[in-house]
Structure 1
Amino acid sequence: MPDTAPSKPSVLFVCVHNAGRSQMAAGWLTHLAADRIEVRSAGSAPADQVNPVAVEAMREVGVDITAEQPKVLTVDAVEASDVVITMGCGDACPIFPGKRYEDWKLDDPAGRGIDAVRAIRDDIRLRVEKLLSELLPG
């Protein structure tokens, strides 16, 4: 019998450094979707490491992003994704017809203290939960 199961939706989170917002969003979606969505993140000018304050803020809520590394945004990553969420990367993200694009206006956690990063983390969680309910209704 042929496999007629639809492929999993895929989401790409993009910010400039792929060190804070996009890593937290990818961490939330991976945690909340539990394998039902393919999750990617990338940056237009990746940093050399994930923001340690973002790592700590996510650890506080039981989401481990310590193994993540900032990755450079590629055309292939955009092409392979159904939904592309940008977070302040401007025009660096290539646009392809048929993709769903959203731009999430979020403060950059770079250089911010844990209290500010917690607020960004919690804002991202609400947005990720909404996205999840749209991609996997029911």
Structure 2
Amino acid sequence: MSEPKPSVLFVCVHNAGRSQMAAAFLTHFAGDRVEVRSAGSAPADAVNPAVVAAMAEVGVDISAETPKVLTVEAVRMSDVVITMGCGDTCPVFPGKTYLDWRLTDPAGRGIDAVRPIRDEIARRVRTLIDEIA
């Protein structure tokens, strides 16, 4: 019998930038080896267009993604919860791994400002895969 897949939840305030990029990179790099979710404590109406464009530059299409609200169930179902500037809004359950990635918020920024954020997220996601998958 195979090991259960690790599951990761990325959380930021609007689920329109950082958490969307992280979830997309984890899916892109790890494929079906990891279960991936993202959510926001106060989701935006749409994913940041500069984020969509920056991800497209590296061959990752997130144009169909939509921000999702953070739920207790999403946290409960995840092994690793990675927050990105959502403060104390994420529920805490025993036995989960919680990480806080301090990253610049791409909200209101152009693609030139989003690229270094994207690249740092990609680097951190690759490291995460080595640790969990």
Matched, 1:127 2:124: yes
Query: Shift of the alpha carbon at 1:85?
Result: 0.2
Aligned length: 133
Mark the runs of 5 or more structure 2 residues left unpaired by the alignment.
Answer: none
Matched, 1:88 2:85: yes
Cross-structure match for 1:75: 72
SS, match of residue 42 in structure 1: strand
Could you tell me which amino acid in structure 2 is paired with residue 8 of structure 1? Answer: K
Cross-structure match for 1:15: 12
SS, match of residue 128 in structure 1: helix
- For residues 48-127 of structure 1, the aligned pairs below 5 Å read 48-127=45-124
Give, in whole Å, the separation in 2 of the partners of 1:35 and 1:57.
23
Give, in whole Å, the separation in 2 of the partners of 1:115 and 1:35.
31
SS, match of residue 68 in structure 1: coil
After TM superposition, what 4+ stretches of structure 1 lie above 2 angstroms from structure 2?
Answer: none
- For residues 10-49 of structure 1, the aligned pairs below 5 Å read 10-49=7-46
Query: What do the CA deviations read for 1:56-106 (whole angstroms, capped 9, x no partner)?
Result: 000000001111110000000000000000000000000000000000000
Query: Shift of the alpha carbon at 1:37?
Result: 0.4
Could you tell me which amino acid in structure 2 is paired with residue 38 of structure 1? Answer: E
Give, in whole Å, the separation in 2 of the partners of 1:36 and 1:126.
18
Could you tell me which amino acid in structure 1 is paired with residue 4 of structure 2? Answer: S
Q: Rg bigger for which structure?
A: 1
Identity across matched positions, percent: 74
Give, in whole Å, the separation in 2 of the partners of 1:67 and 1:7.
28
Could you tell me which amino acid in structure 1 is paired with residue 121 of structure 2? Answer: I
Could you tell me which amino acid in structure 2 is paired with residue 97 of structure 1? Answer: P
TM-score between the two structures when normalised by the length of structure 1: 0.95
